[in-house]
A and B are shown apart, each in its own frame.
Chain A
């Protein structure tokens, strides 16, 4: 398979579930001369655990991610997000690898990988390399994967009992395009926020961390006013382009609303376990 990619560099596209590629081809936005079909390639469909995380092969579908006990049990936020993608037909065919490599700014997975410090393994003829989300996602529809390479797996950490991660999103209608998405990760000791990570989707060409929100919360005692303040600061430095359904102003206002809800849900998740 890698030989094929090497041979037809520039003229070939990989097809996994086809749920991003086929619509683009239908709209004539891409007309690759060759399609390299991963369906029967061995070694890309697996889910396995190691001590600290879960490895997911690139060809695993959204449906499997939404329902796999290994993932729902260890990294529930990923399953949650997978279950919200498109509709059941899309979830049966679409793959995590395909979605990540497509790198749509409004997609659900990238912000989760970013917030959780997930890892992406890219394979080429000369071997493989492991990247972080910050290196992998470069621009709208652009990743670090070269034309003769393929994404092999994504690794996500297991979320411990003192932590929780939540994905909250605003879209029009179920499965509709995401306008604003927030991934919030918290580790708490008592009421104190020991660690916090926040990533946003839909507001920039790639998923972005919200350092301002993280700084506001890290090491502090969690409270409603503090969450409010962190959410308000989150819009600093953001400049989402207006789209037909949402102006920049509305999107920024929604970042604040959605982030507040994400933190509240996250906090509730941890507290209800105690």
Chain B
């Protein structure tokens, strides 16, 4: 049976269904806690997979790679200081102020793989040490402004031990870049970076072999530093990448050039994470994600029961995206995701009238939060590198968008628990809070 509607449906966006799944799971935790008169923390602790059990195969086939879910949750509640909060909550209630604490453990799978589709799990990279001694990187990844060009440059600079300014990255140019699948599913730091690193390592291998020839040394006695390759045994003996490039591209030392060695100093790698599975098992399950980041999020809110107005007093996140290749970017992604998540939880509302006419047709009425509505978000980064991926980094960016609704819904229910208040729908607007408290139907 089908239905035609003019109303907006759910579409692929930051979170991609993981926001809905997180909301259901984390709300169930709190609802169970309320029914059984247990602490929400206790219910979660009884259900969270412990670090010792990882890698862990879930009932639906996902292979959770690494992490410390209970640890992150305890840490975020430590940062909130849950004991001090509860004492303050009691005190404020006696004065007629309603504060609440809500939290959620948010799983952030990244880099999915659907064979024979446009959502494949691999990416390609070419790394070339140019005759100038500088490096060109051609990546099959694309950027929508999240800094992947920077991170790819960083990865190569680190692998080759050359200055970041000497690495030139080209992305998404279909004429010259190797095949790749672009950026979605927070996959760039999971797939593209590894393809790039592996290509860079191949280039480095050859560079070391050439340096060995030029310095008359064994490769195991060589180390790369500051765009040069040094002999460990005699640091005065070194050769620059420029000279190595001349050797490879221009045969600058024809006498020592080994017979049969290919000219050039370039490598192309196509990388597919090894923990991705291609075929479903007999029950239709497989691991479709290459990495599983996660975060523990907690929020303290104050709700005014007379007006329904809500203020977020604190928002704290303990975030684990495996190895943080660029901590600033990880912070930025988490902040941005949370701002969007808070928007979705409290402000964004597609309202229709009884005739199906959309009422929020411009951003005057479809409210997005501004810097004034977003609180100072406290983020702490921890690292549980992926055991499956060369660089150990996991995808980042969707966790904030995924977790804010559950965190805030839990917090509002906690704030209004003396009224036996239940959240029924999102967004959580002042009028809906007011109407629920009055036992009325809310508008919209």
**A: which residues have CB within 8 A of B?**
87, 170, 172-175, 242-247, 249-250, 253-254, 257-258
Contact = CB atoms under 8 A, between A and B. Distances in A.
B351 interface: yes
A257 B305 CA distance: 11
A173 B370 contact: yes
Given A175-B372, A246-B431, A170 B440 contact: no
B37 interface: no
Contacts of B372: 87, 173-175
A253 B307 CA distance: 9
B430 A244 contact: no
A247 B443 contact: yes
A249 B443 contact: yes
Interface of B: 306-307, 309, 347, 349, 351, 359-360, 365, 367, 369-370, 372-373, 429-431, 434-435, 438, 440, 442-444
A40 to B, nearest CB: 32
A247 B354 CA distance: 14
A172 B369 CA distance: 10
Contacts of A245: 365, 367, 429-431
12 contacts: A170-B309, A172-B309, A172-B430, A173-B369, A173-B372, A174-B372, A244-B349, A244-B365, A245-B367, A245-B431, A254-B307, A257-B307
- Residue among B306, B372, B440 with most chain A CB within 10 A: B306
A244 B434 contact: no
A253 B434 contact: yes
A265 to B, nearest CB: 14
Contacts of A87: 372
B85 to A, nearest CB: 24
B434 A250 contact: yes
Contact of B359 (A170, A173, A174, A244): A244
Contacts of B444: 244, 247
A244 B429 CA distance: 11
Contacts of B349: 244
Contacts of A243: 365
Contacts of B440: 249
B434 to A, nearest CB: 6
Given A246-B443, A249-B440, A257-B306, 7 more contacts: A170-B309, A172-B367, A246-B431, A247-B442, A247-B444, A250-B434, A254-B307
A257 B437 CA distance: 15
A158 to B, nearest CB: 32
Nearest to A257: B306
A250 B443 CA distance: 9
Nearest to B435: A250
Among B349, B369, B430, chain A packs the most CB atoms within 10 A around the CB of B430
A175 B370 CA distance: 11
A64 to B, nearest CB: 22
A251 B171 CA distance: 53
A170 B367 contact: no
Contacts of B434: 250, 253
A247 B440 CA distance: 12
A41 B369 CA distance: 38
A172 B434 CA distance: 14
A274 B337 CA distance: 52
Given A173-B372, A174-B372, A250-B431, A242 B307 contact: no
A250 to B, nearest CB: 5
A87 B370 CA distance: 12
Contacts of A175: 372
A87 B372 CA distance: 10
Contacts of B360: 244
Contacts of B373: 173
A246 to B, nearest CB: 6
B365 to A, nearest CB: 4
Nearest to B430: A172
B367 A247 contact: no
B94 to A, nearest CB: 19
Nearest to A246: B431
Contacts of B367: 172, 245
Nearest to A180: B307
